[in-house]
Structure 1
Amino acid sequence: MNSVFRLLSGCVAGALSLTFAVAVQAQAAFPNKTITIIVPYTAGGTTDLLARSVADVLRAQGGQTVVVDNKPGAGGSIAGKMVVNANPDGYTLLMTSSGINSVTPVVYKDFNALDGLAQVSVLVDVPFVVSVHKKFAAQNLKDFVAYAKKKPDDIRIGNASKGSHGHLTQLLFDKAAGVQLLSVPYKGSVPSLNDLLGGHIEATIDNVGVIKPYIDTDKLTALFVTSKNRSPALPQVPTATELGVPFDSTAWFGLAAPRNTPPAIVKQIRDMVAKGFEDKAQQDKLVQAGLTPVFGTPAEATARTKAESASLGKLAETLSLSQN
Protein backbone atom coordinates (compact mmCIF):
# COMPACT_ATOMS: atom_id res chain seq x y z
CA MET A 1 0.00 0.00 0.00
CA ASN A 2 2.78 2.38 0.95
CA SER A 3 4.58 1.70 -2.31
CA VAL A 4 1.37 2.42 -4.27
CA PHE A 5 0.85 5.63 -2.30
CA ARG A 6 4.42 6.68 -2.96
CA LEU A 7 3.96 5.89 -6.66
CA LEU A 8 0.74 7.93 -6.89
CA SER A 9 2.29 10.79 -4.94
CA GLY A 10 5.26 10.75 -7.27
CA CYS A 11 2.99 10.81 -10.32
CA VAL A 12 0.96 13.74 -8.96
CA ALA A 13 4.10 15.64 -8.00
CA GLY A 14 5.58 14.96 -11.42
CA ALA A 15 2.43 16.15 -13.16
CA LEU A 16 2.33 19.32 -11.10
CA SER A 17 5.99 19.96 -11.77
CA LEU A 18 5.44 19.43 -15.49
CA THR A 19 2.43 21.78 -15.50
CA PHE A 20 4.40 24.43 -13.62
CA ALA A 21 7.35 24.00 -15.96
CA VAL A 22 5.13 24.37 -19.02
CA ALA A 23 3.50 27.50 -17.53
CA VAL A 24 6.87 29.03 -16.70
CA GLN A 25 8.20 28.16 -20.14
CA ALA A 26 5.15 29.71 -21.83
CA GLN A 27 5.49 32.84 -19.71
CA ALA A 28 9.22 33.06 -20.34
CA ALA A 29 8.67 32.68 -24.08
CA PHE A 30 6.18 35.56 -24.29
CA PRO A 31 5.35 36.57 -26.91
CA ASN A 32 5.23 33.50 -29.10
CA LYS A 33 2.07 34.16 -31.15
CA THR A 34 -0.09 36.98 -32.51
CA ILE A 35 -1.04 39.82 -30.14
CA THR A 36 -4.35 41.63 -30.70
CA ILE A 37 -4.93 45.21 -29.56
CA ILE A 38 -8.64 46.02 -29.41
CA VAL A 39 -9.45 49.69 -29.97
CA PRO A 40 -12.84 50.97 -28.74
CA TYR A 41 -13.05 53.63 -31.47
CA THR A 42 -13.23 53.76 -35.26
CA ALA A 43 -10.10 53.77 -37.40
CA GLY A 44 -8.32 57.07 -38.01
CA GLY A 45 -8.79 58.76 -34.65
CA THR A 46 -6.08 59.64 -32.14
CA THR A 47 -6.57 56.46 -30.11
CA ASP A 48 -6.44 54.30 -33.23
CA LEU A 49 -3.26 55.97 -34.48
CA LEU A 50 -1.64 55.56 -31.07
CA ALA A 51 -2.66 51.89 -31.01
CA ARG A 52 -1.01 51.35 -34.38
CA SER A 53 2.18 52.98 -33.12
CA VAL A 54 2.08 50.68 -30.08
CA ALA A 55 1.50 47.72 -32.41
CA ASP A 56 4.58 48.68 -34.44
CA VAL A 57 6.66 48.89 -31.27
CA LEU A 58 5.45 45.54 -29.89
CA ARG A 59 6.04 43.94 -33.28
CA ALA A 60 9.60 45.23 -33.37
CA GLN A 61 10.31 44.34 -29.73
CA GLY A 62 8.66 40.92 -29.65
CA GLY A 63 9.10 39.69 -33.20
CA GLN A 64 5.46 38.58 -33.47
CA THR A 65 2.48 39.76 -35.51
CA VAL A 66 0.40 42.45 -33.77
CA VAL A 67 -3.13 43.09 -35.02
CA VAL A 68 -5.25 46.19 -34.32
CA ASP A 69 -8.97 45.40 -34.13
CA ASN A 70 -11.44 48.33 -34.00
CA LYS A 71 -14.58 47.60 -31.98
CA PRO A 72 -16.36 50.94 -31.43
CA GLY A 73 -19.63 51.54 -29.63
CA ALA A 74 -21.36 51.74 -26.25
CA GLY A 75 -18.84 54.17 -24.79
CA GLY A 76 -16.02 51.68 -25.23
CA SER A 77 -17.75 48.95 -23.23
CA ILE A 78 -18.06 46.60 -26.22
CA ALA A 79 -14.30 46.53 -26.67
CA GLY A 80 -13.76 46.57 -22.92
CA LYS A 81 -15.91 43.49 -22.31
CA MET A 82 -14.13 41.62 -25.09
CA VAL A 83 -10.85 42.08 -23.26
CA VAL A 84 -12.33 41.42 -19.81
CA ASN A 85 -13.59 38.05 -21.09
CA ALA A 86 -10.43 37.17 -23.04
CA ASN A 87 -7.85 34.60 -21.96
CA PRO A 88 -5.55 36.37 -19.43
CA ASP A 89 -2.34 35.48 -21.22
CA GLY A 90 -1.23 38.87 -22.54
CA TYR A 91 -2.24 38.24 -26.14
CA THR A 92 -5.43 40.33 -26.03
CA LEU A 93 -4.97 43.96 -25.02
CA LEU A 94 -7.23 47.01 -24.81
CA MET A 95 -6.45 50.57 -25.79
CA THR A 96 -8.12 52.19 -22.83
CA SER A 97 -8.58 55.72 -21.52
CA SER A 98 -9.49 57.73 -18.46
CA GLY A 99 -13.06 58.02 -19.73
CA ILE A 100 -13.49 54.30 -20.37
CA ASN A 101 -12.19 53.50 -16.90
CA SER A 102 -14.13 56.09 -14.92
CA VAL A 103 -17.19 57.25 -16.89
CA THR A 104 -18.23 54.31 -19.10
CA PRO A 105 -18.95 52.00 -16.12
CA VAL A 106 -21.35 54.64 -14.76
CA VAL A 107 -23.47 54.36 -17.91
CA TYR A 108 -22.90 50.73 -18.89
CA LYS A 109 -23.34 48.79 -15.67
CA ASP A 110 -22.31 45.47 -17.24
CA PHE A 111 -18.76 46.76 -17.71
CA ASN A 112 -16.49 47.18 -14.68
CA ALA A 113 -13.01 48.31 -15.65
CA LEU A 114 -11.62 48.18 -12.12
CA ASP A 115 -12.62 44.56 -11.54
CA GLY A 116 -12.12 43.25 -15.06
CA LEU A 117 -8.86 44.78 -16.29
CA ALA A 118 -5.19 44.72 -15.35
CA GLN A 119 -3.69 48.12 -16.15
CA VAL A 120 -0.49 47.84 -18.17
CA SER A 121 0.46 51.50 -18.55
CA VAL A 122 -0.76 55.06 -18.91
CA LEU A 123 0.84 55.66 -22.29
CA VAL A 124 0.18 59.37 -22.80
CA ASP A 125 -1.53 62.26 -21.10
CA VAL A 126 -4.06 64.24 -23.12
CA PRO A 127 -4.25 67.75 -21.64
CA PHE A 128 -7.26 69.94 -22.30
CA VAL A 129 -7.07 73.60 -23.21
CA VAL A 130 -9.76 76.21 -22.63
CA SER A 131 -9.96 78.64 -25.53
CA VAL A 132 -12.03 81.67 -26.52
CA HIS A 133 -12.71 83.56 -29.73
CA LYS A 134 -10.26 86.37 -30.50
CA LYS A 135 -13.08 88.96 -30.21
CA PHE A 136 -14.38 87.75 -26.85
CA ALA A 137 -14.15 90.36 -24.09
CA ALA A 138 -11.93 88.22 -21.84
CA GLN A 139 -8.59 87.23 -23.38
CA ASN A 140 -6.89 85.86 -20.26
CA LEU A 141 -7.95 83.67 -17.34
CA LYS A 142 -8.19 86.49 -14.79
CA ASP A 143 -10.60 88.48 -16.98
CA PHE A 144 -12.45 85.29 -17.95
CA VAL A 145 -13.18 84.44 -14.30
CA ALA A 146 -14.15 88.04 -13.52
CA TYR A 147 -16.53 88.09 -16.49
CA ALA A 148 -18.09 84.76 -15.45
CA LYS A 149 -18.63 85.99 -11.89
CA LYS A 150 -20.15 89.26 -13.06
CA LYS A 151 -22.44 87.60 -15.59
CA PRO A 152 -23.34 84.11 -14.31
CA ASP A 153 -24.41 81.68 -17.05
CA ASP A 154 -23.37 84.14 -19.77
CA ILE A 155 -20.37 82.11 -20.89
CA ARG A 156 -21.38 79.16 -23.03
CA ILE A 157 -18.56 76.61 -23.18
CA GLY A 158 -18.63 73.79 -25.70
CA ASN A 159 -17.42 70.25 -25.10
CA ALA A 160 -17.17 67.12 -27.26
CA SER A 161 -20.05 65.36 -25.48
CA LYS A 162 -21.99 65.28 -22.24
CA GLY A 163 -20.11 63.28 -19.64
CA SER A 164 -16.84 63.34 -21.57
CA HIS A 165 -13.63 63.87 -19.61
CA GLY A 166 -13.49 67.38 -21.05
CA HIS A 167 -16.99 68.14 -19.75
CA LEU A 168 -16.11 66.79 -16.30
CA THR A 169 -12.89 68.81 -16.30
CA GLN A 170 -14.86 71.96 -17.01
CA LEU A 171 -17.11 71.23 -14.03
CA LEU A 172 -14.03 70.74 -11.82
CA PHE A 173 -12.69 74.08 -13.06
CA ASP A 174 -16.01 75.79 -12.27
CA LYS A 175 -15.79 74.61 -8.68
CA ALA A 176 -12.15 75.62 -8.30
CA ALA A 177 -12.69 79.08 -9.83
CA GLY A 178 -16.02 79.77 -8.14
CA VAL A 179 -17.90 80.27 -11.42
CA GLN A 180 -20.78 78.61 -13.24
CA LEU A 181 -20.23 78.26 -16.97
CA LEU A 182 -23.03 77.06 -19.21
CA SER A 183 -21.98 73.66 -20.59
CA VAL A 184 -22.95 73.05 -24.21
CA PRO A 185 -22.42 69.41 -25.26
CA TYR A 186 -21.82 68.56 -28.91
CA LYS A 187 -21.39 65.34 -30.85
CA GLY A 188 -17.65 65.71 -31.30
CA SER A 189 -15.05 68.44 -31.49
CA VAL A 190 -15.75 69.79 -34.97
CA PRO A 191 -19.26 71.23 -34.36
CA SER A 192 -18.09 72.78 -31.09
CA LEU A 193 -15.16 74.46 -32.83
CA ASN A 194 -17.34 75.65 -35.70
CA ASP A 195 -19.75 77.31 -33.28
CA LEU A 196 -16.89 78.95 -31.38
CA LEU A 197 -15.31 80.29 -34.56
CA GLY A 198 -18.76 81.47 -35.68
CA GLY A 199 -19.41 83.32 -32.42
CA HIS A 200 -22.30 81.11 -31.31
CA ILE A 201 -20.55 80.14 -28.06
CA GLU A 202 -17.93 82.00 -26.05
CA ALA A 203 -15.45 79.24 -25.19
CA THR A 204 -14.59 75.61 -25.65
CA ILE A 205 -12.65 72.93 -23.80
CA ASP A 206 -10.97 70.28 -25.90
CA ASN A 207 -7.79 68.26 -26.34
CA VAL A 208 -4.60 70.20 -26.99
CA GLY A 209 -4.13 68.28 -30.25
CA VAL A 210 -7.52 69.45 -31.53
CA ILE A 211 -7.09 73.12 -30.59
CA LYS A 212 -3.39 73.54 -31.36
CA PRO A 213 -3.79 74.36 -35.10
CA TYR A 214 -6.23 77.16 -34.24
CA ILE A 215 -3.89 78.57 -31.59
CA ASP A 216 -0.89 78.37 -33.91
CA THR A 217 -2.77 80.28 -36.64
CA ASP A 218 -4.05 82.91 -34.17
CA LYS A 219 -7.72 82.07 -34.72
CA LEU A 220 -8.37 81.33 -31.04
CA THR A 221 -6.89 82.47 -27.74
CA ALA A 222 -5.78 79.73 -25.36
CA LEU A 223 -6.49 80.77 -21.76
CA PHE A 224 -4.90 77.81 -19.96
CA VAL A 225 -4.17 74.10 -20.09
CA THR A 226 -5.73 71.81 -17.50
CA SER A 227 -2.67 69.65 -16.78
CA LYS A 228 -0.30 69.95 -13.81
CA ASN A 229 2.50 70.99 -16.13
CA ARG A 230 2.50 72.87 -19.41
CA SER A 231 1.90 70.84 -22.54
CA PRO A 232 5.03 70.35 -24.67
CA ALA A 233 2.77 70.92 -27.68
CA LEU A 234 1.74 74.38 -26.40
CA PRO A 235 4.61 75.42 -24.12
CA GLN A 236 3.57 79.08 -24.24
CA VAL A 237 0.19 78.38 -22.61
CA PRO A 238 0.22 78.41 -18.78
CA THR A 239 -1.57 76.00 -16.48
CA ALA A 240 -4.59 77.06 -14.43
CA THR A 241 -2.58 76.61 -11.24
CA GLU A 242 0.11 78.98 -12.52
CA LEU A 243 -2.60 81.60 -13.00
CA GLY A 244 -4.06 81.23 -9.53
CA VAL A 245 -6.76 78.57 -9.97
CA PRO A 246 -5.47 75.47 -8.14
CA PHE A 247 -6.92 72.66 -10.18
CA ASP A 248 -5.84 70.09 -12.76
CA SER A 249 -7.47 67.27 -14.70
CA THR A 250 -5.91 65.45 -17.62
CA ALA A 251 -7.31 62.75 -19.85
CA TRP A 252 -5.09 59.85 -20.87
CA PHE A 253 -4.81 56.87 -23.16
CA GLY A 254 -3.38 53.61 -21.91
CA LEU A 255 -3.04 49.91 -22.36
CA ALA A 256 -4.80 47.20 -20.34
CA ALA A 257 -5.01 43.41 -20.27
CA PRO A 258 -7.57 41.00 -18.81
CA ARG A 259 -7.50 40.75 -15.03
CA ASN A 260 -5.40 37.81 -13.77
CA THR A 261 -2.88 38.22 -16.57
CA PRO A 262 0.42 37.20 -14.92
CA PRO A 263 2.12 40.30 -13.46
CA ALA A 264 5.40 39.32 -15.12
CA ILE A 265 3.74 39.42 -18.54
CA VAL A 266 1.99 42.70 -17.76
CA LYS A 267 5.35 44.20 -16.80
CA GLN A 268 7.02 42.76 -19.89
CA ILE A 269 4.42 44.32 -22.20
CA ARG A 270 4.84 47.68 -20.49
CA ASP A 271 8.63 47.49 -20.67
CA MET A 272 8.54 46.53 -24.36
CA VAL A 273 6.33 49.52 -25.18
CA ALA A 274 8.34 51.96 -23.04
CA LYS A 275 11.61 50.82 -24.62
CA GLY A 276 10.20 51.17 -28.12
CA PHE A 277 9.08 54.73 -27.46
CA GLU A 278 12.47 55.83 -26.11
CA ASP A 279 13.17 56.91 -29.67
CA LYS A 280 13.03 60.72 -29.85
CA ALA A 281 11.40 60.72 -33.26
CA GLN A 282 8.57 58.58 -31.88
CA GLN A 283 8.11 60.91 -28.92
CA ASP A 284 8.15 64.00 -31.15
CA LYS A 285 5.28 62.51 -33.17
CA LEU A 286 3.24 62.12 -29.99
CA VAL A 287 3.96 65.69 -28.88
CA GLN A 288 2.97 67.09 -32.28
CA ALA A 289 -0.34 65.26 -31.92
CA GLY A 290 -0.91 67.03 -28.60
CA LEU A 291 -0.04 63.99 -26.49
CA THR A 292 2.37 64.06 -23.55
CA PRO A 293 4.47 60.85 -23.30
CA VAL A 294 4.15 59.05 -19.94
CA PHE A 295 4.61 55.27 -20.30
CA GLY A 296 4.16 54.71 -16.58
CA THR A 297 4.33 51.44 -14.68
CA PRO A 298 1.39 49.06 -14.10
CA ALA A 299 1.29 50.11 -10.43
CA GLU A 300 1.10 53.80 -11.36
CA ALA A 301 -1.63 53.13 -13.91
CA THR A 302 -3.63 51.11 -11.39
CA ALA A 303 -3.38 53.80 -8.71
CA ARG A 304 -4.42 56.51 -11.15
CA THR A 305 -7.35 54.47 -12.43
CA LYS A 306 -8.65 53.85 -8.91
CA ALA A 307 -8.35 57.51 -7.93
CA GLU A 308 -10.08 58.80 -11.06
CA SER A 309 -12.80 56.16 -10.94
CA ALA A 310 -13.71 57.53 -7.52
CA SER A 311 -13.52 61.23 -8.38
CA LEU A 312 -14.67 61.39 -12.01
CA GLY A 313 -17.06 58.48 -11.63
CA LYS A 314 -18.80 60.18 -8.72
CA LEU A 315 -19.07 63.42 -10.70
CA ALA A 316 -20.42 61.56 -13.75
CA GLU A 317 -23.14 59.98 -11.61
CA THR A 318 -24.57 63.46 -10.94
CA LEU A 319 -25.18 64.09 -14.65
CA SER A 320 -27.87 61.43 -15.27
CA LEU A 321 -26.00 60.13 -18.31
CA SER A 322 -27.86 57.85 -20.71
CA GLN A 323 -26.72 55.24 -23.21
CA ASN A 324 -27.94 57.31 -26.15
Structure 2
Amino acid sequence: MRRKIPSTTALICFEASARHESFTKAAQELSLTQGAVCRQVGGLEVFLNVELFRRSRRGVKLTEAGLSYSRQVAAQLDAVERDTLSVMRQQGANVIELAVVPTFGTQWLLPRLKDFQQRHPDVTVNLTNRTRPFLFADTPFDAAVYFGDGDWSGTQAHRLMGENPVPVCSPALLHGLPALEAQRIAELPLLQQSTRPYAWRQWFASAGLSVEGDMTGPRYELFSMLSQAAIHQMGIALIPPFLIQRELEEGRLVVANRHVLSSHKAYYLMIPERKVQSASLVAFRDWLTEQSHAYIKTASAN
Protein backbone atom coordinates (compact mmCIF):
# COMPACT_ATOMS: atom_id res chain seq x y z
CA MET A 1 0.00 0.00 0.00
CA ARG A 2 1.35 3.42 -0.94
CA ARG A 3 2.03 5.58 2.10
CA LYS A 4 0.56 9.06 2.48
CA ILE A 5 3.93 10.77 2.84
CA PRO A 6 5.11 14.00 1.14
CA SER A 7 8.41 14.12 -0.71
CA THR A 8 11.53 14.46 1.42
CA THR A 9 12.60 17.52 -0.59
CA ALA A 10 9.34 19.28 0.22
CA LEU A 11 9.69 18.50 3.93
CA ILE A 12 13.29 19.73 4.02
CA CYS A 13 12.34 22.97 2.25
CA PHE A 14 9.38 23.46 4.60
CA GLU A 15 11.47 22.78 7.75
CA ALA A 16 14.14 25.29 6.72
CA SER A 17 11.52 27.89 5.73
CA ALA A 18 9.68 27.41 9.03
CA ARG A 19 12.88 27.69 11.06
CA HIS A 20 13.90 30.95 9.35
CA GLU A 21 10.35 32.12 8.57
CA SER A 22 11.84 33.11 5.26
CA PHE A 23 11.89 31.42 1.87
CA THR A 24 14.94 33.46 0.92
CA LYS A 25 17.04 32.33 3.90
CA ALA A 26 15.87 28.75 3.44
CA ALA A 27 16.95 28.88 -0.19
CA GLN A 28 20.38 30.19 0.81
CA GLU A 29 20.82 27.42 3.40
CA LEU A 30 19.79 24.70 0.97
CA SER A 31 21.65 26.13 -2.04
CA LEU A 32 18.41 26.38 -4.01
CA THR A 33 16.62 29.26 -5.69
CA GLN A 34 13.89 31.04 -3.81
CA GLY A 35 11.47 29.97 -6.51
CA ALA A 36 12.34 26.31 -6.02
CA VAL A 37 11.73 26.55 -2.27
CA CYS A 38 8.41 28.34 -2.82
CA ARG A 39 7.28 25.65 -5.27
CA GLN A 40 8.18 22.84 -2.86
CA VAL A 41 6.35 24.49 0.04
CA GLY A 42 3.37 25.33 -2.15
CA GLY A 43 3.24 21.74 -3.38
CA LEU A 44 3.33 20.53 0.24
CA GLU A 45 0.39 22.78 1.13
CA VAL A 46 -1.57 21.36 -1.81
CA PHE A 47 -0.66 17.81 -0.72
CA LEU A 48 -1.83 18.50 2.83
CA ASN A 49 -4.71 20.78 1.82
CA VAL A 50 -3.55 23.01 4.67
CA GLU A 51 -2.13 26.54 4.63
CA LEU A 52 1.26 26.45 6.36
CA PHE A 53 2.33 30.07 5.83
CA ARG A 54 0.57 33.42 5.59
CA ARG A 55 2.19 35.40 2.82
CA SER A 56 2.35 39.19 2.68
CA ARG A 57 4.55 41.90 1.21
CA ARG A 58 6.55 41.87 4.45
CA GLY A 59 7.35 38.17 4.13
CA VAL A 60 5.88 34.93 5.43
CA LYS A 61 4.54 33.91 8.82
CA LEU A 62 3.71 30.40 10.03
CA THR A 63 0.08 29.60 10.59
CA GLU A 64 -0.89 27.74 13.75
CA ALA A 65 -1.09 24.51 11.73
CA GLY A 66 2.26 25.31 10.11
CA LEU A 67 3.93 25.86 13.47
CA SER A 68 2.63 22.56 14.86
CA TYR A 69 3.58 20.63 11.73
CA SER A 70 7.04 22.22 11.57
CA ARG A 71 7.88 20.98 15.06
CA GLN A 72 6.84 17.44 14.17
CA VAL A 73 8.68 17.48 10.85
CA ALA A 74 11.87 18.87 12.45
CA ALA A 75 11.87 16.08 15.05
CA GLN A 76 11.36 13.40 12.40
CA LEU A 77 14.06 14.80 10.10
CA ASP A 78 16.48 14.92 13.06
CA ALA A 79 15.69 11.26 13.81
CA VAL A 80 16.26 10.25 10.19
CA GLU A 81 19.57 12.12 10.17
CA ARG A 82 20.70 10.43 13.40
CA ASP A 83 19.78 6.99 12.05
CA THR A 84 21.54 7.70 8.76
CA LEU A 85 24.74 8.85 10.48
CA SER A 86 24.59 5.82 12.76
CA VAL A 87 24.40 3.45 9.80
CA MET A 88 27.25 5.28 8.06
CA ARG A 89 29.43 5.09 11.19
CA GLN A 90 28.71 1.42 11.75
CA GLN A 91 29.39 0.33 8.19
CA GLY A 92 31.75 -2.62 8.53
CA ALA A 93 32.13 -1.98 12.27
CA ASN A 94 31.41 -4.24 15.24
CA VAL A 95 29.37 -2.05 17.57
CA ILE A 96 27.59 -2.72 20.88
CA GLU A 97 24.88 -0.23 21.78
CA LEU A 98 24.66 -0.44 25.57
CA ALA A 99 21.99 1.16 27.75
CA VAL A 100 23.39 1.80 31.22
CA VAL A 101 22.23 3.37 34.46
CA PRO A 102 24.03 6.74 34.65
CA THR A 103 26.26 6.75 37.73
CA PHE A 104 27.27 3.11 37.33
CA GLY A 105 28.27 3.91 33.75
CA THR A 106 30.36 6.98 34.55
CA GLN A 107 31.85 5.97 37.91
CA TRP A 108 32.42 2.25 37.59
CA LEU A 109 32.17 1.05 33.99
CA LEU A 110 33.91 3.82 32.05
CA PRO A 111 37.15 3.75 34.10
CA ARG A 112 37.47 0.05 33.23
CA LEU A 113 36.31 0.17 29.62
CA LYS A 114 39.76 0.90 28.23
CA ASP A 115 40.78 -2.62 29.25
CA PHE A 116 38.00 -4.08 27.10
CA GLN A 117 39.04 -1.88 24.17
CA GLN A 118 42.61 -3.14 24.46
CA ARG A 119 41.49 -6.76 24.54
CA HIS A 120 38.92 -6.35 21.75
CA PRO A 121 40.05 -3.45 19.53
CA ASP A 122 37.60 -4.51 16.81
CA VAL A 123 34.56 -3.90 19.06
CA THR A 124 33.16 -0.44 19.80
CA VAL A 125 30.94 0.05 22.86
CA ASN A 126 28.55 3.01 22.81
CA LEU A 127 26.91 4.04 26.10
CA THR A 128 23.51 5.68 26.53
CA ASN A 129 21.81 6.48 29.83
CA ARG A 130 18.65 4.54 30.62
CA THR A 131 17.33 4.12 34.16
CA ARG A 132 14.38 1.78 33.62
CA PRO A 133 13.60 -1.39 31.63
CA PHE A 134 12.32 -1.03 28.07
CA LEU A 135 11.43 -3.18 25.07
CA PHE A 136 14.62 -4.01 23.19
CA ALA A 137 12.63 -4.46 19.98
CA ASP A 138 11.66 -0.76 20.11
CA THR A 139 15.21 0.53 20.58
CA PRO A 140 18.65 0.23 18.93
CA PHE A 141 20.15 -1.27 22.11
CA ASP A 142 21.98 -4.60 22.05
CA ALA A 143 22.21 -4.97 25.85
CA ALA A 144 21.62 -3.06 29.06
CA VAL A 145 23.08 -2.68 32.52
CA TYR A 146 20.36 -1.91 35.03
CA PHE A 147 19.62 -2.17 38.74
CA GLY A 148 16.78 -4.43 39.77
CA ASP A 149 15.78 -8.02 40.40
CA GLY A 150 16.92 -9.45 37.06
CA ASP A 151 13.34 -10.08 35.94
CA TRP A 152 13.20 -8.62 32.42
CA SER A 153 11.04 -10.48 29.91
CA GLY A 154 12.78 -11.79 26.80
CA THR A 155 16.30 -11.36 28.15
CA GLN A 156 19.15 -13.34 29.65
CA ALA A 157 20.30 -11.86 32.99
CA HIS A 158 23.88 -11.86 34.25
CA ARG A 159 24.32 -10.66 37.84
CA LEU A 160 27.22 -8.29 38.30
CA MET A 161 27.14 -7.05 41.90
CA GLY A 162 24.92 -5.90 44.71
CA GLU A 163 24.62 -2.28 45.70
CA ASN A 164 25.27 -2.43 49.49
CA PRO A 165 25.09 1.30 50.24
CA VAL A 166 26.48 2.86 53.43
CA PRO A 167 25.88 6.27 55.03
CA VAL A 168 28.42 8.82 53.76
CA CYS A 169 28.89 12.51 54.38
CA SER A 170 31.39 15.33 54.41
CA PRO A 171 34.05 14.81 57.10
CA ALA A 172 32.95 18.16 58.52
CA LEU A 173 29.70 16.55 59.73
CA LEU A 174 31.61 14.07 61.89
CA HIS A 175 33.08 16.87 64.04
CA GLY A 176 36.22 14.86 64.64
CA LEU A 177 34.44 11.62 65.53
CA PRO A 178 35.52 8.38 63.79
CA ALA A 179 31.89 7.45 63.08
CA LEU A 180 28.28 8.28 63.95
CA GLU A 181 25.75 6.10 65.73
CA ALA A 182 22.56 5.37 63.83
CA GLN A 183 20.56 7.51 66.27
CA ARG A 184 22.82 10.50 65.56
CA ILE A 185 22.47 9.96 61.81
CA ALA A 186 18.69 10.12 62.23
CA GLU A 187 19.10 13.68 63.54
CA LEU A 188 20.92 14.87 60.41
CA PRO A 189 19.31 15.93 57.12
CA LEU A 190 18.73 12.71 55.15
CA LEU A 191 19.50 12.99 51.44
CA GLN A 192 17.06 10.83 49.50
CA GLN A 193 17.54 8.91 46.24
CA SER A 194 14.32 9.25 44.23
CA THR A 195 14.55 5.75 42.71
CA ARG A 196 15.22 4.21 46.15
CA PRO A 197 12.52 6.00 48.21
CA TYR A 198 12.59 3.50 51.11
CA ALA A 199 16.37 3.19 51.40
CA TRP A 200 16.77 5.12 54.65
CA ARG A 201 13.75 3.39 56.23
CA GLN A 202 15.25 0.02 55.33
CA TRP A 203 18.67 1.03 56.64
CA PHE A 204 17.34 2.23 60.00
CA ALA A 205 15.14 -0.87 60.32
CA SER A 206 18.13 -3.14 59.69
CA ALA A 207 19.94 -1.20 62.43
CA GLY A 208 17.01 -1.81 64.82
CA LEU A 209 15.55 1.69 64.70
CA SER A 210 12.21 3.18 63.71
CA VAL A 211 12.81 6.79 62.74
CA GLU A 212 10.12 9.40 62.19
CA GLY A 213 10.81 11.41 59.06
CA ASP A 214 13.07 8.77 57.52
CA MET A 215 11.58 9.53 54.08
CA THR A 216 11.88 13.30 54.32
CA GLY A 217 14.68 15.38 52.90
CA PRO A 218 15.74 16.62 49.45
CA ARG A 219 15.45 14.04 46.69
CA TYR A 220 17.92 13.51 43.87
CA GLU A 221 17.57 11.21 40.88
CA LEU A 222 21.22 10.19 40.50
CA PHE A 223 23.84 8.95 42.97
CA SER A 224 26.23 11.50 41.47
CA MET A 225 23.84 14.25 42.62
CA LEU A 226 23.61 12.68 46.06
CA SER A 227 27.39 12.58 46.40
CA GLN A 228 27.74 16.24 45.43
CA ALA A 229 25.06 17.25 47.92
CA ALA A 230 26.83 15.25 50.64
CA ILE A 231 30.22 16.75 49.77
CA HIS A 232 28.71 20.22 50.18
CA GLN A 233 27.49 19.34 53.68
CA MET A 234 23.80 19.35 52.75
CA GLY A 235 23.23 16.15 54.69
CA ILE A 236 24.08 12.46 54.80
CA ALA A 237 23.46 10.02 51.95
CA LEU A 238 23.21 6.27 51.39
CA ILE A 239 25.54 5.48 48.49
CA PRO A 240 27.27 2.28 47.31
CA PRO A 241 31.01 2.75 47.98
CA PHE A 242 32.02 1.55 44.48
CA LEU A 243 30.25 4.58 42.99
CA ILE A 244 32.25 7.08 45.05
CA GLN A 245 35.71 5.48 45.25
CA ARG A 246 37.52 8.64 44.20
CA GLU A 247 35.58 10.84 46.63
CA LEU A 248 36.38 8.44 49.50
CA GLU A 249 40.06 8.15 48.55
CA GLU A 250 40.41 11.94 48.36
CA GLY A 251 38.62 12.43 51.69
CA ARG A 252 35.83 14.56 50.27
CA LEU A 253 33.41 11.94 51.59
CA VAL A 254 33.76 9.59 54.55
CA VAL A 255 31.78 6.56 55.69
CA ALA A 256 29.77 7.75 58.66
CA ASN A 257 28.69 4.29 59.78
CA ARG A 258 29.91 0.89 58.57
CA HIS A 259 26.46 -0.72 58.73
CA VAL A 260 25.58 -1.88 55.20
CA LEU A 261 22.11 -1.98 53.68
CA SER A 262 21.82 -5.34 51.94
CA SER A 263 19.26 -5.92 49.19
CA HIS A 264 18.19 -8.77 46.94
CA LYS A 265 18.37 -6.32 44.02
CA ALA A 266 21.61 -5.95 42.10
CA TYR A 267 23.23 -4.63 38.93
CA TYR A 268 22.65 -6.95 35.97
CA LEU A 269 23.80 -7.16 32.39
CA MET A 270 20.68 -7.89 30.36
CA ILE A 271 21.03 -9.37 26.87
CA PRO A 272 17.97 -10.00 24.69
CA GLU A 273 17.52 -13.69 23.93
CA ARG A 274 17.81 -13.12 20.19
CA LYS A 275 21.35 -11.77 20.67
CA VAL A 276 22.84 -14.13 23.24
CA GLN A 277 24.96 -15.84 20.57
CA SER A 278 26.53 -12.60 19.32
CA ALA A 279 30.30 -12.99 19.50
CA SER A 280 30.88 -9.37 20.49
CA LEU A 281 28.24 -9.53 23.25
CA VAL A 282 29.63 -12.82 24.54
CA ALA A 283 33.09 -11.21 24.74
CA PHE A 284 31.65 -8.16 26.53
CA ARG A 285 29.60 -10.33 28.90
CA ASP A 286 32.63 -12.42 29.85
CA TRP A 287 34.79 -9.33 30.35
CA LEU A 288 32.17 -7.47 32.41
CA THR A 289 31.43 -10.40 34.72
CA GLU A 290 35.18 -10.92 35.17
CA GLN A 291 35.60 -7.26 36.12
CA SER A 292 32.69 -7.33 38.57
CA HIS A 293 33.94 -10.53 40.27
CA ALA A 294 37.43 -9.03 40.58
CA TYR A 295 35.98 -5.90 42.16
CA ILE A 296 33.86 -7.90 44.62
CA LYS A 297 36.91 -9.95 45.62
CA THR A 298 39.01 -6.81 46.18
CA ALA A 299 36.24 -5.04 48.09
CA SER A 300 35.71 -8.07 50.33
CA ALA A 301 39.43 -8.20 51.13
CA ASN A 302 39.32 -4.58 52.26
> Which protein has greater RCO, CA pairs closer than 8 Å, 6+ apart?
1
Structure number with greater Rg is 2
TM, length-normalised to structure 2: 0.48
